[in-house]
Amino acid sequence: MQDSPNSTTEFQVGQRVHASGDSTRIGTVKYIGSVEGYSESWVGVDWDHGDGKHDGSINGVRYFHAKSETSGSFVRPKNLCNGISVLEALEKRYRSSSTKDEEDEMYVLSSSNKRVSIQLLGKSELDDKLSRIEELTNASLAFMGVGSPGVSCQISTTVPNIQELDLSGNLLSEWKDVGIICEQLPALKALNLSYNLMSPYKSELPLLKSIRVLVLNNTGVDWEQVELLRQSLTTIEELHIMGNSISRILPVSSSMVRGFDSLRLLNLEDNCIAEWSEIMKLSQLRCLEQLYLNKNCLSSLFYPDNGSQYYESEVTGCKPFQKLRCLLLGDNNISDLASVDSLNLFPNLVDIRLSGNPITDAVKGGVPRFVLIARLAKVQILNGSEITSRERKDSEIRYVRLVVSRLHANPEEIKQHPRFSELKNFYEIEDQPPSIGTTGGPQAISSGFLSITLKCVGASMGEKKPLTKKLPATTTVGKLKFLCDSFFKLKSMKLNLFLQEEGSPLPLLLNNDSSSLMDLGVGNNSVLLVDEDS
């Protein structure tokens, strides 16, 4: 099925179109009419991916405003397509078979350079199955130029069993068209409308009681649109609204978001939310288990105390985020340990992502993985990596020893470590740091040393056997680099040291030459990687 040429009468401003012959090059009609200096009529298009030629003006005359300096262009109507219907796309996707010419082109060359035809295993069975389109339960019509439902009554009779429908990257923009499609698919449970630029709407959608999963990534919807959707999507369980420049959560009737009584997963990644108070408006969603907030602009977070307006809803009787077990906060601007500590107050939170924040970036003064594990009492999965019981024990012991070593210089620092006393008592760790003086006898001397395994990993270092050494806990990183030069005969090579931690996907760079092994929480039997500084 080929896209037919169009006249300008078939287009209107605001309509979504794609380039003829390329259904992935999509834009919005911004102008229809003549262009000074050129014959006949033109269609001004603002292309989604910015692959135009200008900003909507030519030779000093402005015809429309494009979103960027190079996203607009003027196109002859014959070179644009206003889309096909859902049924046409289904026919094109699932009923078109390869032609004889196409099959003749499917071959490989033998050792004697002769063509050997390819026969697709099970092709006849697959063609037969696809020909029974009425049996389809999952259909993908992504980037196929779908612009309308078509004759609505024919959808339900042609594909009555569709449960999952992917319409991402098409030309749909009107919610009434989405409503028509959904009404005609009574078994539909999952719908993906990503990369369709949806127009704002004021009226409610038809009741879509079967939809469980709705994906609206990069569709331009805001929270006001989401609130209108709530009234029709009565059984929604997963809602994905990534990449929509959402900065505020705007409930309709109160300060808190109500309804969405079945919503378990809300994906707000890659938006513009900067204030945690906006997220707190979601805290009374009583079934919410997973909240994805990666790639926003959050700089801190908190859990409300008993006196807060957020604390317990008089309507639901639930504490804030009562059922939340997974919170993804990667790639935000969180830089304070108070925010990390507040995660302990969430009643059921066990899966947390903090990677990509300043608090986890050693270069920006962040803390290593073992400190996060020790501070987060209930977390079971950190940054996508499961925390084993061994890793938790080692991390908490290292953390306590690290804090002990610092308290003698600054006793007030204990206020910054809410779990310190609890962990110190649990592991029965003494308040005093280990004695490392020469006057304390063999036991005291031994207790001040750490057994460290050193492994050379630098490409130009050659093959070196790992060495295990007993070193004073006060050995600085700079001193250890000097010792490694001697241990491995590295000829004054400039070195970097990395701590290899169990459960951590990447080794931790020890980048402060003046810090001691004890200061950095390096424990007994740790493994340090010795690499050349690039």
In the structure encoding, which two tokens stand for residue 336, read together?
Answer: 């304070």
* Residue 203 CB partners (closer than 8 Å, separation 6+): none
Provide the pairing of β-strand 265-267 with 290-292. parallel
Mean pLDDT of 130-148: 88
Chain center to CA of 329:
9
Q: Does 251 have pLDDT greater than 60?
A: yes
Q: What is the pLDDT of residues 256-276, one digit of tens each?
A: 999 899 999 999 999 999 999
Listing DSSP states for 192-221 in one string gives E-TT--PPP--SPPPP-TT--EEE-TTS--
DSSP 7: -
CB 133, CB 90: distance < 8 Å? yes
Q: How many CB atoms are located within 10 Å of the residue 462 CB?
A: 10
Asked which of 206-210, 237-241, 249-253 is least confident by mean pLDDT, the reply is: 206-210
pLDDT band for 524, please (50, 70, 90 cuts): confident
Q: Does 99 have pLDDT greater than 60?
A: no
**Torsion (CA) 325, 326, 329, 330 in degrees, nearest 10:** 150
Mean pLDDT of 363-373: 86
Residue 2: its pLDDT value, please?
A: 43
Q: What is the pLDDT of residues 439-453, one digit of tens each?
A: 333 333 334 788 999
Supply the mean pLDDT for the chain: 85
Mean pLDDT of 1-16: 68
Residue 310: its pLDDT value, please?
A: 66
Asked which of 10-24, 356-370, 371-385, 472-486 is least confident by mean pLDDT, the reply is: 356-370
Q: Does 206 have pLDDT greater than 80?
A: no
Q: How many CB atoms are located within 10 Å of the residue 275 CB?
A: 15
| pLDDT, greater one: 521 or 309 | 521
Asked which of 219-228, 350-359, 405-414 is least confident by mean pLDDT, the reply is: 405-414
* Residue 255 CB partners (closer than 8 Å, separation 6+): 281, 309
Angle at 473 between CA 468 and CA 476, to 5 degrees: 90
pLDDT band for 504, please (50, 70, 90 cuts): low
Residue 277: its pLDDT value, please?
A: 96
Asked which of 282-286, 306-310, 336-340, 378-382 is least confident by mean pLDDT, the reply is: 306-310
Mean pLDDT of 283-311: 89
What are the angstrom distances between the C-alpha of 166 and each of 19, 49, 142, 143, 207?
A: 21, 21, 6, 10, 20
Q: How many CB atoms are located within 10 Å of the residue 222 CB?
A: 16
CB 147, CB 123: distance < 8 Å? no
In the structure encoding, which two tokens stand for residue 62, read together?
Answer: 């402005």
Pairwise CA distance, residues 304 & 311, whole Å: 6
Residue 7: its pLDDT value, please?
A: 58
Asked which of 15-29, 88-102, 199-213 is least confident by mean pLDDT, the reply is: 88-102
Residue 104: its pLDDT value, please?
A: 56
Pairwise CA distance, residues 498 & 483, whole Å: 15
Q: Does 486 have pLDDT greater than 80?
A: yes
Which domains, ranges and CATH numbers included, belong to the chain? 15-81 (2.30.30.190), 85-98+115-304+318-391 (3.80.10.10), 449-532 (3.10.20.90)
Mean pLDDT of 324-336: 97
pLDDT band for 305, please (50, 70, 90 cuts): confident
Mean pLDDT of 217-241: 92
Identity of the residue numbered 484:
C
